[in-house]
Amino acid sequence: MVLREGSEQKVLHTEEVFKAWQLERLQQVTRAISLTTSIADRLAETSPWKIFARDSIMKTVGMIPPLRDAIEKMDTPALKYDYSDGMPFLPAVGGGFTLPQVYCVPLGLRDDKQDTVSFTDDVIFKTGKKGLLQLVCLVKSAAEAEKVKQWQAVREAETLSDGEVRADEVTYIVQDVQARPLTASCTERDDSAAGTNTFRVATGDEFAKSKLCQGRSPPERYSEHRMLKETKGKQYVLVRWDWYIFAACQDEGELISAMAKIPAVLKGKSGERG
């Protein structure tokens, strides 16, 4: 954002941009140091009673398979920023969390095509995209994706967001592993139909059979619906290029409202705590 500003705007907003960046990085560093210190304290424990209690708990957990499995299956929570004035996201609309990555498959490809599995990060932030924020729509079906494409929030995205979100860069991810293109004409990859911006979530087995998994261990405890879970069911997500969510919206009205706030928030104005 700083690099692309005009000379006059750069003088005006550079300080606010870097202040927000500093606040966010400071939270990450502080938490990392706190976690490292906490682990070191436990490993360096000298009290016989505390050592006995720690080891006893670990052994007990290991002896109870259901408890051990439950702990192993616990999801790592999404990283989150605690909002401070000037941070570039909307905390009142689900902003400040990281958007998880899952696997996906383009809907505009024939079933017999090979190696079509991708990481969602790679399709959302595809090389060549120019929008400072990317709109990701977690839809239920290909039909819903086509409906959302006609929304004012999508068609007029550039106007509403002052050019920060582009309609031709929106990514649609159907939350159904059985999803298929709307018509037979979409069985080939086609930029104008189901095309390169519409995908469905992929299963762990699909990823395990793809080239992406070569040299990697097959996924364990993978959920293709992790993105929707972390956004608490909100389907329309504005995400920054560092994977942090600017806003997670539940309908078109909320999305239009969030887009309208983008220019001011990116210039250091309050994102509203809510």
Residues 11-37: tens digit of each pLDDT = 445 677 677 777 877 887 887 787 788
Of the candidates 236, 262, 265, which has an alpha carbon nearest to the alpha carbon of residue 249?
236
pLDDT confidence band for 223 (50 / 70 / 90)? very high
d(CA 75, CA 71): 9
For the question of whether the overall pTM of this predicted structure is more than 0.85, the answer is no
pLDDT value at 71 more than 80: no
Compare 226 and 34 and report the one with higher pLDDT. 226
Supply 180's token pair: 């298929």
d(CA 247, CA 265): 11
163-202 residue pLDDT tens:
999 999 999 999 999 988 766 444 444 433 344 799 999 9
